[in-house]
Amino acid sequence: MCLAIPVQVKEVLPGGMAKVTLDGVSKIVSTALVDDIEAGDYVVLHVGYALARIDRNEAERTLALIREAAIGDAP
């Protein structure tokens, strides 16, 4: 099974790269598969590659569900 998660683009970098963040954790990822990325956009991230741009509301709903599932699994 594969997991792709929404992350927010904080900074567009040269060479088809961007700095993204999720819950305060930053990572440099490839944006080669998505055109016209801008700071503030949300993208779906899988193994270091932005796969698609995603609507802010959809991203926030998805992240809320992931957090809820994680809390529900806590011992």
How buried is 65 (Cβ within 10 angstroms: 0-12 exposed, 13-18 middle, 19+ buried)?
Answer: exposed
User: pTM to 2 decimals?
Assistant: 0.85
Under the banding of pLDDT at 50, 70 and 90, the label for residue 1 is low
* Distance in angstroms (rounded) separating the CA atoms of residues 50 and 31: 5
Is 62's pLDDT higher than 60?
Answer: yes
Q: Tokens 């995603």 belong to which residue?
A: 54
